[in-house]
Chain A
Amino acid sequence: MSISLSIDTSTSRTSVAIIDEGALLWHGFRDGATSHGHALPAMVAQALEVQFEIDQVVVGMGPGPYTGLRVGISFARSFALARQIPVIGVCSLDAIATQVREKNDFIIATDARRKEIYWARYFNGERVDAPAVDFPADVALKGVPIFGEGAVKYLLTSDDEVQFPDVVSLVEIAKNPTLQVLQPIYLRRPDAVPTSERTP
């Protein structure tokens, strides 16, 4: 142990890395809010050419727009099943928070669509508020610095360096059992509108 395949699809960026105890063997990302399904397998295929043996899979469990989020989680689970290796989920916001420097009280926010953001608050390096979904203006009222793709989109920050989950951090976070997440973090109930677009 251990070589990790690290995956996140919780934001508009699809990120993949293969990490051997902190050393980056391969990494790549593609931007595009609807391209996760296409980008993820293509990148993993490339990564496996560099490093085929994998000991565990780590995947960002969100919160994030559902369709893209599910692509990452379903892929990660199936890949792990095929290889008979463990898959560990973590909160994607935690892997953005690790990139914030010199701030002991701040909020990480990502785009939740419908003019809302997913957010969580961090104090002294720990998540102190469970992830939630709210309007940007309400989160701004908390009066602490905000970082992440959601903060950039709604002009809550001038720092556009810190936006997306860091795939190396995902693996570090996964080492802490109390931060492991088993189910996707949805935060909203499904819209209960039946479709007329039914399948065959």
Chain B
Amino acid sequence: MIYEPLVLGIETSCDETAIGIVRGRTLLANVIASSVEEHARFGGVVPEIASRAHLEAMLPSVQQAVIDAKISLSDIDAVAVTAGPGLVGALLVGVASASGLALGLGKPLYGVNHLAAHVSVDLLTHDLPREPTIALLVSGGHSSLLQVDDITSSVIKLGESMDDAAGEAFDKIARVMGLGFPGGPAIDREAVAGNPKAIDFPRGLTHSNDWQTRPFDFSFSGLKTAVARYLESTPDYVKADVAASFQESIVDVLLLKALAACKKTGIDSLVIAGGVAANSRLRAVAEHRCHEAKIRLRIPAPGLCTDNGAMVAALGSLMVSAGRPASSIDLEATSSLSVSTVSI
């Protein structure tokens, strides 16, 4: 029989207090308490508000997850927690809660990397991760291209955004267009009725010499400026067309680079993860282009793309199954944890 560890995962790196429980590859509970509405009027996440909300939501969320999963806390084999990267004050609430649970239960603690967790959540949608794979990780804080040889131990960064993260660009453009925060879903909705070819916005770092010097890096600041200029100079702009064309530029660049990474490394598998992976246009274009390039594409279910506890539990489950050593009980939350550090 296959050993299917029961793992509870805690995620508090930004504004979501999220608890997931998985047994092996099966998702049993995924509770998310978000403080996003408290941040909306500031146009971004306020760290102290997020940290207070984490403390308030933590216990009820753990209790709810245990009820949803129909288990008892004492059944748990291991506790996994996001150790970084993220807001340090927010991470600390999660890590302290996780170490309290682990010591209380007498079970091992795994401090894992938030970015690796985003990739490994695909375990819950598509069975075991296919390795090696290229991973495109796109969210409000990061846009990275990764080579994943083993999600529990070997993740190499091929490239990343030189300025804004893809999700950040969505937020900023949504704000100037008055579409609200968070910007990703707002632009996705607005773009449905628009023409993605209406306006030819720039594609960052795709000139011929960029492909020599920064083949797998991204830049969205030029695009952001171009959209802002367009809005200023075109008073009667069509919102849906701007949203669709802006979105098309981001989607195009992300996939150009992701597929180039597959080609360069000879790896015929691509995972797209992170909040922006929930974008409907990115999913559709990715499917089309990967089919053409004969690359196996895997994108987690949309509900598992944004920050959640299930992804942390999923990575924890893989770590336990792979026999990786547990973390020290006094592991340190690290706000700038590098993606190549899968666990600490």
Contact = CB atoms under 8 A, between A and B. Distances in A.
A169 B65 CA distance: 35
Nearest to B333: A37
A193 B101 CA distance: 32
B101 A82 contact: yes
Contacts of B39: 194
Contact of B100 (A39, A66, A78, A193): A78
Interface in A73-109: 73-83
B99 A195 contact: no
Given A38-B330, A74-B93, A82-B73, A200 B115 contact: yes
Interface residues of A, number: 38
B202 interface: no
A199 B87 contact: yes
A198 B329 contact: no
B59 A78 contact: yes
Given A199-B87, A200-B115, A200-B274, A74 B45 contact: no
Interface stretch (B46-54, B218-226, B243-251): B46-54
Contacts of A190: 46, 48-49, 52
B112 to A, nearest CB: 13
A44 B49 CA distance: 28
A143 to B, nearest CB: 34
Interface string B73-104: 11000000000011111101101111111011
Contact of B51 (A39, A70, A76, A77): A70
A12 to B, nearest CB: 16
A79 B141 contact: no
A190 B139 CA distance: 26
A75 B105 CA distance: 13
Given A37-B333, A74-B100, A75-B99, A199 B14 contact: yes
Nearest to A184: B55
Nearest to B86: A199
A129 B137 CA distance: 53
B180 interface: no
A200 B114 contact: yes
Query: Which of the four size classes fits the interface of chain B?
Result: 35 or more
A76 B101 CA distance: 9
User: Which secondary structure characterizes the binding site on chain A?
Assistant: helix
A151 to B, nearest CB: 26
A104 B297 CA distance: 73
A92 to B, nearest CB: 16
B45 A200 contact: no
B159 interface: no
A198 B96 contact: no
A78 B58 contact: yes
Contacts of B45: 194-195, 198
B13 A199 contact: yes
A75 B307 contact: no
Contact of A70 (B93, B114, B274): B93
Contacts of B85: 199-200
A80 B73 CA distance: 12
A185 interface: no
Given A48-B103, A77-B58, A195-B44, A200 B96 contact: no
Interface of B: 13-14, 39, 42-49, 51-52, 54-55, 58-59, 62-63, 73-74, 85-90, 92-93, 95-101, 103-105, 114-115, 118, 137, 139-142, 165, 167-168, 274, 307, 329-330, 332-333, 335
30 contacts: A37-B96, A40-B99, A41-B99, A41-B100, A67-B92, A70-B55, A70-B93, A75-B96, A76-B100, A77-B58, A78-B59, A78-B62, A81-B62, A81-B101, A82-B100, A83-B104, A184-B55, A186-B52, A191-B48, A192-B49, A195-B45, A195-B47, A197-B335, A198-B44, A199-B90, A199-B141, A200-B13, A200-B14, A200-B114, A200-B274
Which 5 pairs of residues, A with B, have the shortest CB-CB distance?
A82-B104, A194-B44, A78-B100, A190-B48, A199-B14
